[in-house]
Copies of this chain bind each other. A is one copy, B any other.
Amino acid sequence: MSRIAPLSGFPELLPGQRIVEQRVLDRLAHTFELYGFSSIQTRAVEPMEQLLRKGETSKEVYVLRRLQADESDSGDSGLGLHFDLTVPLARYVLENAGRLQFPFRRYQIQPCWRGERPQEGRFREFWQADVDVVDRDDLSGHYEVELPLLIGDALRSLPIPRMRMHVNNRKLSQGFYRGLGIADPMAAIRAVDKLDKIGPRGVADLLAETTGADDAQVAACLALAEIHSEDESFVDRVRALGVSDPLLDEGLSELGAVVTAAAEDAPGLVVADLRIARGLDYYTGTVYETYMDGYANLGSVCSGGRYDDLASEGRNRFPGVGLSIGVSRILVPLLNEGRLAPTREVPTCVLVALPNEERRRDCDRIARALRSRGIAAEVAPAAQKYGKQIRFAERRGIPFVWFPGDAEGGDEVRDIRSGEQSAADGAKWSPPDADLRPRIA
Protein backbone atom coordinates (compact mmCIF):
# COMPACT_ATOMS: atom_id res chain seq x y z
CA MET A 1 0.00 0.00 0.00
CA SER A 2 1.30 3.42 -0.90
CA ARG A 3 1.87 6.16 1.63
CA ILE A 4 -1.32 7.72 3.04
CA ALA A 5 -1.55 11.42 2.22
CA PRO A 6 -4.28 14.07 2.17
CA LEU A 7 -6.02 14.74 -1.15
CA SER A 8 -5.72 18.32 -2.31
CA GLY A 9 -9.10 20.04 -2.50
CA PHE A 10 -10.84 17.54 -0.21
CA PRO A 11 -10.57 19.15 3.22
CA GLU A 12 -11.17 16.99 6.28
CA LEU A 13 -11.49 18.13 9.87
CA LEU A 14 -9.97 16.81 13.06
CA PRO A 15 -12.49 15.83 15.76
CA GLY A 16 -12.16 19.16 17.64
CA GLN A 17 -12.64 21.14 14.43
CA ARG A 18 -15.61 18.99 13.61
CA ILE A 19 -17.23 20.03 16.92
CA VAL A 20 -17.05 23.64 15.69
CA GLU A 21 -18.55 22.64 12.34
CA GLN A 22 -21.34 20.70 14.07
CA ARG A 23 -22.24 23.72 16.20
CA VAL A 24 -22.25 25.97 13.14
CA LEU A 25 -24.42 23.60 11.10
CA ASP A 26 -26.81 23.08 14.03
CA ARG A 27 -27.11 26.83 14.45
CA LEU A 28 -27.81 27.38 10.75
CA ALA A 29 -30.41 24.60 10.65
CA HIS A 30 -32.04 25.97 13.80
CA THR A 31 -32.36 29.46 12.29
CA PHE A 32 -33.69 28.11 9.00
CA GLU A 33 -36.33 26.11 10.88
CA LEU A 34 -37.33 29.14 12.97
CA TYR A 35 -38.31 30.71 9.65
CA GLY A 36 -40.33 27.62 8.75
CA PHE A 37 -37.94 26.14 6.21
CA SER A 38 -38.06 22.36 5.75
CA SER A 39 -34.91 20.29 5.48
CA ILE A 40 -34.44 18.11 2.46
CA GLN A 41 -31.52 16.04 1.25
CA THR A 42 -31.10 15.07 -2.35
CA ARG A 43 -29.04 12.18 -3.67
CA ALA A 44 -25.41 13.02 -4.53
CA VAL A 45 -25.90 12.19 -8.20
CA GLU A 46 -27.92 13.71 -11.00
CA PRO A 47 -28.31 12.68 -14.63
CA MET A 48 -25.64 14.42 -16.69
CA GLU A 49 -28.28 16.09 -18.82
CA GLN A 50 -29.59 17.85 -15.68
CA LEU A 51 -26.10 18.89 -14.63
CA LEU A 52 -25.19 20.25 -18.05
CA ARG A 53 -28.25 22.49 -18.45
CA LYS A 54 -26.08 25.40 -17.36
CA GLY A 55 -23.49 24.97 -20.10
CA GLU A 56 -20.65 26.86 -18.44
CA THR A 57 -20.08 24.42 -15.63
CA SER A 58 -19.64 21.30 -17.72
CA LYS A 59 -15.93 21.16 -17.15
CA GLU A 60 -16.35 20.92 -13.38
CA VAL A 61 -18.48 17.80 -13.17
CA TYR A 62 -17.32 14.47 -11.74
CA VAL A 63 -18.81 11.69 -13.84
CA LEU A 64 -19.42 8.24 -12.33
CA ARG A 65 -18.94 4.81 -13.76
CA ARG A 66 -19.25 1.42 -12.12
CA LEU A 67 -15.89 -0.26 -11.91
CA GLN A 68 -17.34 -3.51 -13.22
CA ALA A 69 -19.98 -1.99 -15.49
CA ASP A 70 -21.14 -4.47 -18.12
CA GLU A 71 -23.12 -4.25 -21.33
CA SER A 72 -26.45 -4.99 -19.71
CA ASP A 73 -26.01 -2.15 -17.25
CA SER A 74 -27.17 1.13 -18.69
CA GLY A 75 -28.64 2.87 -15.66
CA ASP A 76 -25.56 4.56 -14.25
CA SER A 77 -23.68 5.58 -17.34
CA GLY A 78 -25.06 9.11 -17.38
CA LEU A 79 -24.65 10.09 -13.72
CA GLY A 80 -22.49 12.82 -12.22
CA LEU A 81 -22.00 14.32 -8.75
CA HIS A 82 -23.96 17.54 -8.17
CA PHE A 83 -21.84 20.69 -8.19
CA ASP A 84 -24.38 22.81 -6.33
CA LEU A 85 -27.71 22.33 -4.54
CA THR A 86 -29.77 24.43 -6.93
CA VAL A 87 -29.88 22.01 -9.86
CA PRO A 88 -30.91 19.14 -7.52
CA LEU A 89 -33.60 21.38 -5.98
CA ALA A 90 -35.04 22.21 -9.38
CA ARG A 91 -35.15 18.51 -10.27
CA TYR A 92 -36.60 17.55 -6.83
CA VAL A 93 -39.37 20.15 -7.18
CA LEU A 94 -40.33 18.93 -10.64
CA GLU A 95 -40.19 15.29 -9.59
CA ASN A 96 -42.29 15.82 -6.44
CA ALA A 97 -44.46 18.77 -7.50
CA GLY A 98 -47.66 16.84 -6.81
CA ARG A 99 -46.57 15.98 -3.27
CA LEU A 100 -45.09 19.30 -2.11
CA GLN A 101 -46.91 22.27 -0.60
CA PHE A 102 -46.22 25.59 -2.34
CA PRO A 103 -44.71 28.03 -1.65
CA PHE A 104 -42.06 25.45 -0.73
CA ARG A 105 -39.60 26.76 1.84
CA ARG A 106 -36.65 24.40 1.93
CA TYR A 107 -33.13 24.32 3.30
CA GLN A 108 -30.46 21.82 2.38
CA ILE A 109 -27.04 21.30 3.94
CA GLN A 110 -24.90 18.89 1.93
CA PRO A 111 -21.55 18.48 0.22
CA CYS A 112 -21.08 19.38 -3.44
CA TRP A 113 -18.28 18.38 -5.77
CA ARG A 114 -16.46 20.22 -8.53
CA GLY A 115 -13.45 18.94 -10.40
CA GLU A 116 -11.82 22.39 -10.23
CA ARG A 117 -8.14 22.93 -9.70
CA PRO A 118 -7.92 23.53 -5.94
CA GLN A 119 -7.03 27.10 -4.93
CA GLU A 120 -7.57 29.29 -1.90
CA GLY A 121 -11.17 29.03 -0.77
CA ARG A 122 -12.01 26.62 -3.60
CA PHE A 123 -12.41 22.95 -2.95
CA ARG A 124 -13.28 19.84 -4.91
CA GLU A 125 -15.58 18.73 -2.12
CA PHE A 126 -17.29 21.43 -0.08
CA TRP A 127 -20.35 21.90 2.12
CA GLN A 128 -23.09 24.31 1.22
CA ALA A 129 -26.12 25.43 3.21
CA ASP A 130 -28.86 26.55 0.83
CA VAL A 131 -32.22 28.19 1.50
CA ASP A 132 -34.78 28.68 -1.25
CA VAL A 133 -38.44 29.55 -1.56
CA VAL A 134 -40.02 28.04 -4.66
CA ASP A 135 -43.60 28.72 -5.68
CA ARG A 136 -45.84 27.48 -8.45
CA ASP A 137 -46.50 29.78 -11.44
CA ASP A 138 -45.69 33.06 -9.62
CA LEU A 139 -43.43 34.02 -6.75
CA SER A 140 -44.26 37.05 -4.65
CA GLY A 141 -41.49 39.63 -4.36
CA HIS A 142 -41.58 39.70 -0.56
CA TYR A 143 -39.46 36.54 -0.43
CA GLU A 144 -36.63 38.53 -2.00
CA VAL A 145 -36.91 40.80 1.07
CA GLU A 146 -37.23 37.96 3.59
CA LEU A 147 -34.31 35.77 2.51
CA PRO A 148 -31.48 38.24 3.25
CA LEU A 149 -33.00 38.83 6.71
CA LEU A 150 -33.02 35.09 7.35
CA ILE A 151 -29.41 34.83 6.19
CA GLY A 152 -28.50 37.80 8.36
CA ASP A 153 -30.01 36.10 11.42
CA ALA A 154 -28.26 32.84 10.55
CA LEU A 155 -24.81 34.35 10.00
CA ARG A 156 -24.96 36.73 12.94
CA SER A 157 -25.70 33.77 15.23
CA LEU A 158 -22.19 32.48 14.46
CA PRO A 159 -18.90 33.56 16.07
CA ILE A 160 -17.38 34.56 12.74
CA PRO A 161 -16.23 37.89 11.27
CA ARG A 162 -18.92 40.38 10.23
CA MET A 163 -20.68 39.76 6.94
CA ARG A 164 -21.82 42.37 4.43
CA MET A 165 -24.37 41.42 1.82
CA HIS A 166 -24.17 43.30 -1.48
CA VAL A 167 -27.47 43.30 -3.31
CA ASN A 168 -28.53 44.29 -6.79
CA ASN A 169 -31.49 43.57 -9.02
CA ARG A 170 -31.31 42.03 -12.45
CA LYS A 171 -34.33 44.04 -13.64
CA LEU A 172 -32.60 47.23 -12.56
CA SER A 173 -29.46 46.40 -14.55
CA GLN A 174 -31.28 45.05 -17.58
CA GLY A 175 -33.75 47.95 -17.60
CA PHE A 176 -30.94 50.46 -17.28
CA TYR A 177 -28.89 48.95 -20.12
CA ARG A 178 -31.99 48.65 -22.28
CA GLY A 179 -33.07 52.23 -21.50
CA LEU A 180 -29.57 53.27 -22.43
CA GLY A 181 -30.03 51.70 -25.86
CA ILE A 182 -27.79 48.64 -25.42
CA ALA A 183 -29.22 45.87 -27.57
CA ASP A 184 -27.93 42.91 -25.53
CA PRO A 185 -28.30 43.75 -21.82
CA MET A 186 -27.13 40.25 -20.73
CA ALA A 187 -23.82 40.82 -22.50
CA ALA A 188 -23.46 44.08 -20.54
CA ILE A 189 -24.21 42.24 -17.27
CA ARG A 190 -21.55 39.64 -18.06
CA ALA A 191 -19.04 42.40 -18.84
CA VAL A 192 -19.75 44.34 -15.61
CA ASP A 193 -19.47 41.06 -13.67
CA LYS A 194 -15.75 41.11 -14.54
CA LEU A 195 -15.14 44.48 -12.82
CA ASP A 196 -13.17 42.97 -9.95
CA LYS A 197 -11.03 40.91 -12.28
CA ILE A 198 -10.22 43.29 -15.12
CA GLY A 199 -11.02 46.77 -13.71
CA PRO A 200 -13.06 49.62 -15.23
CA ARG A 201 -10.85 49.92 -18.32
CA GLY A 202 -11.10 46.25 -19.09
CA VAL A 203 -14.86 46.35 -18.61
CA ALA A 204 -15.07 49.44 -20.86
CA ASP A 205 -13.26 47.60 -23.64
CA LEU A 206 -15.38 44.50 -23.13
CA LEU A 207 -18.60 46.51 -23.20
CA ALA A 208 -17.58 48.20 -26.44
CA GLU A 209 -16.58 44.88 -27.93
CA THR A 210 -19.48 42.68 -26.86
CA THR A 211 -22.37 45.14 -26.87
CA GLY A 212 -21.20 47.79 -29.33
CA ALA A 213 -21.68 50.45 -26.63
CA ASP A 214 -20.32 53.92 -27.45
CA ASP A 215 -18.29 56.02 -25.02
CA ALA A 216 -21.32 57.67 -23.42
CA GLN A 217 -23.06 54.33 -22.92
CA VAL A 218 -19.89 52.79 -21.46
CA ALA A 219 -19.52 55.76 -19.10
CA ALA A 220 -23.14 55.37 -17.95
CA CYS A 221 -22.65 51.63 -17.34
CA LEU A 222 -19.55 52.30 -15.25
CA ALA A 223 -21.29 55.13 -13.39
CA LEU A 224 -24.16 52.78 -12.52
CA ALA A 225 -21.68 50.22 -11.21
CA GLU A 226 -20.22 52.79 -8.81
CA ILE A 227 -23.49 53.43 -7.01
CA HIS A 228 -23.96 51.84 -3.61
CA SER A 229 -25.82 52.76 -0.44
CA GLU A 230 -27.22 51.25 2.74
CA ASP A 231 -30.51 53.05 2.25
CA GLU A 232 -32.78 54.04 -0.61
CA SER A 233 -30.57 56.96 -1.61
CA PHE A 234 -29.23 54.85 -4.49
CA VAL A 235 -32.54 55.43 -6.27
CA ASP A 236 -31.96 59.18 -6.72
CA ARG A 237 -28.41 58.58 -7.87
CA VAL A 238 -29.63 56.17 -10.55
CA ARG A 239 -32.32 58.62 -11.61
CA ALA A 240 -29.63 61.30 -11.92
CA LEU A 241 -28.03 59.24 -14.71
CA GLY A 242 -31.06 60.16 -16.82
CA VAL A 243 -32.02 56.71 -18.04
CA SER A 244 -35.64 55.62 -18.01
CA ASP A 245 -37.25 52.28 -18.64
CA PRO A 246 -40.22 50.50 -17.00
CA LEU A 247 -38.06 47.47 -16.06
CA LEU A 248 -35.57 49.84 -14.42
CA ASP A 249 -38.43 51.28 -12.34
CA GLU A 250 -39.46 47.81 -11.20
CA GLY A 251 -35.89 46.95 -10.28
CA LEU A 252 -35.39 50.18 -8.31
CA SER A 253 -38.57 49.60 -6.38
CA GLU A 254 -37.76 45.96 -5.58
CA LEU A 255 -34.20 46.73 -4.51
CA GLY A 256 -35.49 49.64 -2.43
CA ALA A 257 -37.79 47.28 -0.54
CA VAL A 258 -34.90 44.90 0.25
CA VAL A 259 -32.62 47.68 1.49
CA THR A 260 -35.30 49.42 3.57
CA ALA A 261 -36.40 46.27 5.39
CA ALA A 262 -32.79 45.22 6.02
CA ALA A 263 -31.80 48.66 7.35
CA GLU A 264 -34.62 48.32 9.87
CA ASP A 265 -34.26 44.67 10.91
CA ALA A 266 -30.55 44.07 10.41
CA PRO A 267 -28.68 47.40 10.36
CA GLY A 268 -25.32 47.21 8.63
CA LEU A 269 -26.00 43.86 6.93
CA VAL A 270 -27.16 44.84 3.47
CA VAL A 271 -25.84 47.36 0.99
CA ALA A 272 -27.39 48.11 -2.39
CA ASP A 273 -24.40 47.71 -4.70
CA LEU A 274 -25.13 48.20 -8.37
CA ARG A 275 -21.90 46.61 -9.55
CA ILE A 276 -23.07 43.18 -8.39
CA ALA A 277 -23.91 41.26 -11.53
CA ARG A 278 -23.51 37.51 -10.91
CA GLY A 279 -22.65 35.88 -14.17
CA LEU A 280 -25.29 33.17 -14.22
CA ASP A 281 -27.93 33.72 -16.86
CA TYR A 282 -30.79 32.27 -14.87
CA TYR A 283 -31.23 35.13 -12.38
CA THR A 284 -34.19 37.38 -13.10
CA GLY A 285 -34.61 39.64 -10.04
CA THR A 286 -32.68 40.37 -6.85
CA VAL A 287 -29.09 39.06 -6.79
CA TYR A 288 -26.97 38.70 -3.65
CA GLU A 289 -23.27 38.38 -2.83
CA THR A 290 -21.79 38.35 0.66
CA TYR A 291 -18.28 39.16 1.84
CA MET A 292 -16.68 38.37 5.17
CA ASP A 293 -14.75 41.24 6.79
CA GLY A 294 -11.02 40.65 6.39
CA TYR A 295 -11.56 37.76 3.96
CA ALA A 296 -12.32 39.53 0.67
CA ASN A 297 -9.81 37.12 -0.90
CA LEU A 298 -12.33 34.30 -0.45
CA GLY A 299 -14.77 36.04 -2.76
CA SER A 300 -18.46 35.84 -2.02
CA VAL A 301 -19.24 33.37 0.78
CA CYS A 302 -23.01 33.53 0.39
CA SER A 303 -24.59 34.17 -3.01
CA GLY A 304 -27.84 33.73 -4.81
CA GLY A 305 -30.79 35.43 -6.33
CA ARG A 306 -34.20 35.13 -7.85
CA TYR A 307 -34.72 32.79 -10.78
CA ASP A 308 -37.96 32.47 -12.71
CA ASP A 309 -37.22 29.66 -15.12
CA LEU A 310 -34.81 27.24 -13.49
CA ALA A 311 -37.42 24.66 -12.52
CA SER A 312 -39.83 24.38 -15.42
CA GLU A 313 -41.20 21.47 -17.35
CA GLY A 314 -43.83 21.87 -20.01
CA ARG A 315 -46.55 24.12 -18.60
CA ASN A 316 -45.30 23.84 -15.04
CA ARG A 317 -43.24 26.78 -13.94
CA PHE A 318 -41.67 27.07 -10.50
CA PRO A 319 -39.98 30.43 -9.91
CA GLY A 320 -37.80 30.73 -6.82
CA VAL A 321 -35.33 32.77 -4.85
CA GLY A 322 -32.45 31.33 -2.91
CA LEU A 323 -29.15 31.90 -1.19
CA SER A 324 -26.29 29.51 -0.69
CA ILE A 325 -23.88 29.77 2.24
CA GLY A 326 -20.41 28.46 1.42
CA VAL A 327 -19.92 26.61 4.70
CA SER A 328 -16.53 25.13 3.84
CA ARG A 329 -15.35 28.35 2.26
CA ILE A 330 -16.10 30.20 5.52
CA LEU A 331 -15.08 27.57 8.05
CA VAL A 332 -11.99 25.89 6.65
CA PRO A 333 -9.83 29.06 6.69
CA LEU A 334 -11.09 30.12 10.14
CA LEU A 335 -10.40 26.65 11.52
CA ASN A 336 -6.98 26.41 9.93
CA GLU A 337 -6.03 29.79 11.38
CA GLY A 338 -7.21 28.66 14.81
CA ARG A 339 -9.76 31.48 14.97
CA LEU A 340 -12.46 28.97 15.80
CA ALA A 341 -11.80 26.28 18.37
CA PRO A 342 -13.94 24.11 20.66
CA THR A 343 -13.97 24.30 24.46
CA ARG A 344 -12.83 20.67 24.43
CA GLU A 345 -11.86 18.04 21.89
CA VAL A 346 -14.44 15.38 22.80
CA PRO A 347 -18.12 15.30 23.78
CA THR A 348 -17.25 13.65 27.11
CA CYS A 349 -18.06 15.76 30.18
CA VAL A 350 -17.08 13.23 32.85
CA LEU A 351 -14.33 10.63 32.86
CA VAL A 352 -15.17 7.92 35.36
CA ALA A 353 -11.85 6.82 36.85
CA LEU A 354 -11.23 3.09 37.15
CA PRO A 355 -9.77 1.91 40.50
CA ASN A 356 -9.05 -1.56 39.13
CA GLU A 357 -10.25 -3.73 36.25
CA GLU A 358 -12.53 -5.77 38.56
CA ARG A 359 -14.62 -2.66 39.21
CA ARG A 360 -15.26 -1.83 35.52
CA ARG A 361 -18.91 -2.87 35.72
CA ASP A 362 -19.41 -0.58 38.76
CA CYS A 363 -17.87 2.26 36.80
CA ASP A 364 -20.06 1.45 33.80
CA ARG A 365 -23.07 1.82 36.08
CA ILE A 366 -21.92 5.26 37.24
CA ALA A 367 -21.44 6.36 33.63
CA ARG A 368 -24.86 4.95 32.81
CA ALA A 369 -26.50 6.94 35.60
CA LEU A 370 -24.88 10.14 34.33
CA ARG A 371 -25.86 9.46 30.72
CA SER A 372 -29.46 8.78 31.70
CA ARG A 373 -29.58 12.44 32.75
CA GLY A 374 -27.95 13.72 29.57
CA ILE A 375 -24.37 13.96 30.87
CA ALA A 376 -21.80 12.52 28.45
CA ALA A 377 -19.54 10.11 30.30
CA GLU A 378 -16.95 7.48 29.55
CA VAL A 379 -15.03 5.08 31.76
CA ALA A 380 -11.23 5.25 31.76
CA PRO A 381 -9.72 2.78 29.29
CA ALA A 382 -7.42 1.14 31.85
CA ALA A 383 -6.85 1.03 35.60
CA GLN A 384 -3.73 3.16 35.55
CA LYS A 385 -2.64 5.30 38.48
CA TYR A 386 -5.15 8.10 39.08
CA GLY A 387 -2.58 10.71 38.04
CA LYS A 388 -2.38 9.11 34.60
CA GLN A 389 -6.15 8.89 34.34
CA ILE A 390 -6.45 12.59 35.19
CA ARG A 391 -3.90 13.43 32.49
CA PHE A 392 -5.96 11.33 30.05
CA ALA A 393 -8.88 13.68 30.79
CA GLU A 394 -6.68 16.80 30.61
CA ARG A 395 -5.33 15.97 27.17
CA ARG A 396 -8.88 15.83 25.80
CA GLY A 397 -10.20 18.78 27.77
CA ILE A 398 -12.67 16.59 29.70
CA PRO A 399 -13.59 18.89 32.63
CA PHE A 400 -14.58 16.37 35.33
CA VAL A 401 -13.08 13.15 36.70
CA TRP A 402 -15.30 10.92 38.82
CA PHE A 403 -13.74 8.79 41.55
CA PRO A 404 -15.90 5.80 42.51
CA GLY A 405 -16.22 5.24 46.21
CA ASP A 406 -15.10 2.16 48.05
CA ALA A 407 -15.29 0.72 51.56
CA GLU A 408 -13.62 3.84 52.92
CA GLY A 409 -15.88 6.48 51.36
CA GLY A 410 -18.42 7.47 48.72
CA ASP A 411 -18.04 8.77 45.17
CA GLU A 412 -16.30 12.08 44.57
CA VAL A 413 -16.05 14.29 41.50
CA ARG A 414 -13.19 16.66 40.68
CA ASP A 415 -13.21 19.67 38.40
CA ILE A 416 -9.70 19.11 37.06
CA ARG A 417 -9.38 22.75 35.93
CA SER A 418 -9.79 24.13 39.46
CA GLY A 419 -8.81 21.00 41.37
CA GLU A 420 -12.00 21.36 43.41
CA GLN A 421 -13.24 17.97 44.56
CA SER A 422 -16.42 17.06 46.40
CA ALA A 423 -18.70 14.19 47.30
CA ALA A 424 -21.20 13.41 44.56
CA ASP A 425 -24.05 11.05 43.68
CA GLY A 426 -24.22 9.75 40.10
CA ALA A 427 -28.00 9.88 40.24
CA LYS A 428 -28.09 13.58 41.17
CA TRP A 429 -24.91 15.50 40.33
CA SER A 430 -24.92 17.82 37.32
CA PRO A 431 -22.17 19.92 35.76
CA PRO A 432 -22.66 23.65 35.17
CA ASP A 433 -24.66 24.20 31.95
CA ALA A 434 -21.63 25.69 30.21
CA ASP A 435 -19.71 22.42 30.68
CA LEU A 436 -22.46 20.04 29.59
CA ARG A 437 -21.47 19.98 25.92
CA PRO A 438 -18.41 21.29 24.08
CA ARG A 439 -19.03 24.75 22.64
CA ILE A 440 -17.18 27.07 20.31
CA ALA A 441 -14.63 28.79 22.57
Binding site for B on A (CB under 8 A): 1-2, 4-8, 10-15, 18-19, 21-22, 33-45, 47-50, 53, 58-69, 75-76, 79-81, 91-92, 94-96, 99-101, 103, 105-106, 111, 113, 115, 124-125, 135, 140, 142, 146, 149, 153, 261, 264-265, 313, 345-348, 360-361, 364, 368, 371, 374-378, 381-382, 395-396, 437
Contacts and interface: CB of A to CB of B under 8 A. Distances in A.
B64 A64 contact: yes
A194 to B, nearest CB: 22
A8 B75 contact: yes
- Interface-centre pick from A5, A39, A125 (highest chain B CB count, 10 A): A39
Contact of A378 (B36, B44, B368, B375): B36
Given A105-B378, A376-B36, A43 B7 contact: yes
B1 A53 contact: yes
B95 A4 contact: yes
Nearest to A110: B111
A13 B33 contact: no
Contact of A18 (B35, B39, B381): B39
Contacts of A21: 41
A61 B53 contact: no
Contact of A67 (B6, B49, B58, B135): B58
Contacts of A377: 34-36
Contact of A376 (B33, B99, B360): B33
Contacts of A261: 361, 364
Copy total for this chain:
2
A437 B34 CA distance: 10
21 contacts: A1-B49, A4-B94, A7-B43, A7-B79, A14-B100, A15-B38, A15-B40, A19-B38, A33-B347, A35-B378, A36-B347, A38-B347, A58-B67, A59-B66, A60-B67, A61-B66, A63-B64, A63-B67, A146-B364, A149-B364, A261-B361
A34 B345 contact: no
Contact of A12 (B39, B63, B69, B92): B92
B61 A67 contact: yes
Contacts of A360: 142
B376 A35 contact: yes
Given A18-B40, A66-B115, A68-B58, A345 B101 contact: yes
Contacts of A346: 36, 38, 101, 105
A292 to B, nearest CB: 23
Q: Which 7 interchain pairs have the tightest Cβ spacing?
A: A36-B378, A36-B348, A66-B115, A33-B347, A59-B68, A15-B38, A10-B43
- Interface-centre pick from A1, A79, A125 (highest chain B CB count, 10 A): A1
Given A15-B100, A18-B38, 12 more contacts: A7-B43, A7-B79, A12-B40, A14-B96, A15-B39, A19-B39, A33-B437, A43-B125, A44-B113, A62-B65, A101-B395, A264-B361
Nearest to A53: B1
A74 to B, nearest CB: 12
Nearest to A371: B34
Contacts of A115: 66-69, 76
A4 B65 contact: no
A63 B61 contact: no
A80 B184 CA distance: 44
A94 B5 CA distance: 9
B4 A45 contact: no
A43 B75 contact: no
